[in-house]
Structure 1
């Protein structure tokens, strides 16, 4: 193999255990592609149809494999396209390394073609951001980039001018740059809070009579510890969206999600608790937390900067959730009185009955809840669910039930559309033996729908549910309920997604009748390759929050009065839904 800068780069990635790169080729990275070609037995290239998808797939790969995700893009526009997916990784705390090309090293800054200064462009998104200057610079930069991405759970970026990629490895090493001084080894810090802080936290928890646990994505590997804590305290477990898989949804101690996508019992538990344990979460919507001063709070987080970010806490415990909880559990006393938990469980039983009733409705046009509810019948106990952003996130959060070792993720803090399909690419590559499902709306799906061809090319057997209502639903309801304005600019031109799937070489199905949903799902999930199930649903079904505020109701009524075109259908649907809740 030619010992070029690009070759040294790829060899160093292999040394770090990188086995997959998501990319779209371009002339600005031809040197790197040649190095990948000659090392194809050691590192797998997944060719996507858009660089944004490469970054999303790398983020999902990191989420579901718990290893470094890597994406590669050409100079100029290719690197620019990575940004949305990289911000998703940054906001959700995932280690992703982005590698980009650059124009010729001696034409940078001279208005040459694709002369975008990517190392400057990436200054905000990347915690480590460096331009490779030659063959003796590569290993140092790769080592720093990988260590930074993993240790800080964030994005690192390397850019290499296209001609430098082909330079020989016989560079002019500076005297200070001792060969092999940077190692390809990283060890996770495993801090534990001092005993005095653990005792103080336990004292606060032991004094509480109505304790609630808010368990986020930092607890995904701490299920047993979270359940043991809940059992000791008689505490309901409330799950932010990225913590959906912390405990099974049918466990008697959980009240499910929180926030606009959440459940009424979760919101009421937060409104009533006198003690709150925040574990591995920085759930951003502060209006859903207890009122400041209502509840004493203890927070567990790996990042000390996150302590007290959303809610005033008395004790902050820094470390991995499973480690901190193991240290805390012996200090926490068993609470014999379970009145708070019992009341919450009774509310949750009634909520689940309501969700089951909504998920089995036979109304026409079909309700979107039906397809999410029926999906549970065909999901494997270790399925991976990749959810896009929009009203579909509400249906997934409330109606798809986590059980066994299932995993779930979506774009959390960034809440970007278009993530669902490339997330499923990353998940399927990370776990080739597991069932992977993409749950997307027609708006998010069409943004990067070319990635269905990626699934066909690599025989990734992903099953894709497209909720088709021909409208950007979440934006429509935000215009109505949050702004008090009639909908505008949200209608979508219909697409036959089943026909599109077949055109790409996948199986395509369409269903608009609730009675046919079980059979269509079973038929699609029996297929060996990728399949698209287009579910045509009622565009007037609102993703109502678990608890509606007076302000939301007022804005909603104002929008209808100002001339919302389908206001009578909306009024009818909302009234029916609220009557069902009361009944």
Structure 2
């Protein structure tokens, strides 16, 4: 290192090896990464030079340009600069910064000022807030309009507070974040640039919206000063996400930045949906106010284990008490409460069938497991629904794909009151957290010794599976004159694929 002085302050110059001596032929240019900065390395005449890689016009990458007629030409708009001095052609004043170069035995070295200490930005405040709300995964693609936010996420990852997973298409990141929310009940984030990068999220965000998965969508945006006239990749992202996001806001210079992230996280978690934050490019790098504090969930979120109204619970218990062959149907909304639901089913001797989205919530090998109901289901599930005299439904949407009949006395339990009786009248709608409601039902039945009217249907479940498997066996040899049928293919896969 060598010292340089500027206005009385000592600054350090750090020398980076930019390239081997024989890599860059005369008359050529190339980009080179030195520390955290990309420079444009040129070879013109018998001289090497290092210039800022950004064209002052619109930031074009000069290292991807060419030397023509003695000038370095920007690949985007053809601006010309002296390849050694960086001065523009035609006497203009928008030249390019240059850096000292040394030719050493082992290569070409470029001297850059020592990297300045990191200045905390509004993006840092928001990223810190996000991690304090429990966001531990970001699926993203870094680009020109989200660099400030991406750097803030990098800092959080280096501190061990989150994991950043790079993706090759924004749609993949959206579906990954949606799946994370479904499986854990906690929000993950997806990061994109402006314009098409942001709109590529939409299908995955609709997946999260429909299945009530908490997700944070963090999208870049063009500079606020060029919003409106139609700048490159400018899209009205608020309108684009208007239906899929249950909460969407733009981060502005004057925003309360920690509070915006507080509301985004809170809305995603409590509303079980998509929260969307739009980050204009220049806002991301604004210095945070001195002493700005990150937010978090303390004092902002209440416990969600809310018990159902006593009258509704009593009505449900009464209907179950008068039934002989109750059947339990579980949907995607019951995925975190299956241990309690299975214990209740075992107490009642009642079969459990699942919706399509609830597939796998109870194994088919369980003594009360009856598979999936509906178009993608098994005849076992539909048989027990049709033979029941009461349906106890947890966390199901009553989609027409599943086809839960409206002809049976039904108890529907859901945390969302809008889902209760959404498609037709329900005999006993119960608004409450599913786990809490199941526990109250179990306690009530344990206190009375259960219901002697209930039929223990375990043996019937085993018999219906035997009938269905025998039917499938008869289909294996039925090729209908066209070779192997699908049943034989899936049977072979079942035998050979590991558990």
The TM-score normalised by the length of structure 1 is 0.59
CA shift at 1:358, angstroms?
A: 5.8
Which structure is higher in RCO with an 8 Å CA cutoff and minimum separation 6?
Answer: 1
Correspondent of 1:85 among 179, 204, 229: 204
In 2: Cα distance, 1:372 partner to 1:304 partner: 40
Question: Is 1:305 the counterpart of 2:418 in the alignment?
Answer: yes
Superposed counterparts of 1:257-336, under 5 Å: 257-285=372-400, 288-290=403-405, 292=406, 294-332=407-445, 333-336=450-453
In 2: Cα distance, 1:63 partner to 1:357 partner: 38
Q: 1:31 to 1:337 in 2, by over 3 A?
A: closer
CA shift at 1:326, angstroms?
A: 0.8
Which ranges in structure 1 are unaligned for 5 or more consecutive residues? Answer: 174-178, 378-517, 526-583
Q: Which residue of 2 aligns with 1:532?
A: none
- Secondary structure of 1:99's partner? strand
Say if 1:8 and 1:135, in contact at 8 Å, map to a contact too.
Answer: no
- Secondary structure of 1:140's partner? helix
Q: Which residue of 2 aligns with 1:147?
A: 266
Q: Which residue of 2 aligns with 1:457?
A: none
Question: Is 1:212 the counterpart of 2:327 in the alignment?
Answer: yes
Q: 1:110 to 1:365 in 2, by over 3 A?
A: farther
Q: Which residue of 2 aligns with 1:110?
A: 229
CA shift at 1:360, angstroms?
A: 10
- Secondary structure of 1:256's partner? strand
Q: 1:217 to 1:150 in 2, by over 3 A?
A: same
Q: 1:152 to 1:365 in 2, by over 3 A?
A: farther
In 2: Cα distance, 1:258 partner to 1:359 partner: 23
Q: 1:361 to 1:23 in 2, by over 3 A?
A: farther
Rg larger in structure? 2
CA shift at 1:361, angstroms?
A: 9.3
In 2: Cα distance, 1:370 partner to 1:94 partner: 37
Question: Is 1:9 the counterpart of 2:122 in the alignment?
Answer: no
CA shift at 1:357, angstroms?
A: 6.4
Correspondent of 2:366 among 251, 259, 272: 251
In 2: Cα distance, 1:36 partner to 1:180 partner: 17
CA shift at 1:114, angstroms?
A: 0.8
Say if 1:136 and 1:169, in contact at 8 Å, map to a contact too.
Answer: no
Say if 2:323 and 2:453, in contact at 8 Å, map to a contact too.
Answer: no
Q: Which residue of 1 aligns with 2:287?
A: 168
Say if 2:135 and 2:187, in contact at 8 Å, map to a contact too.
Answer: yes
CA shift at 1:238, angstroms?
A: 1.1
Correspondent of 2:147 among 30, 49, 59: 30
Q: 1:155 to 1:202 in 2, by over 3 A?
A: same
Q: 1:233 to 1:109 in 2, by over 3 A?
A: same
- Secondary structure of 2:200's partner? helix
Structure holding more strand per residue: 2
Question: Is 1:59 the counterpart of 2:178 in the alignment?
Answer: yes
User: Across the two proteins, how many residue pairs are aligned to each other?
Assistant: 373
Deviations 1:355-375 (A, max 9, x none): 466689999855555565555
In 2: Cα distance, 1:359 partner to 1:98 partner: 48
- Secondary structure of 1:300's partner? strand
Q: 1:46 to 1:373 in 2, by over 3 A?
A: farther
Deviations 1:231-280 (A, max 9, x none): 33332211112222322211121221011100112222222322111111
CA shift at 1:323, angstroms?
A: 1.2
The TM-score normalised by the length of structure 2 is 0.68
Q: 1:249 to 1:313 in 2, by over 3 A?
A: same
In 1: Cα distance, 2:211 partner to 2:146 partner: 28
In 2: Cα distance, 1:142 partner to 1:269 partner: 47
Q: Which residue of 2 aligns with 1:230?
A: 345
In 1: Cα distance, 2:193 partner to 2:302 partner: 32
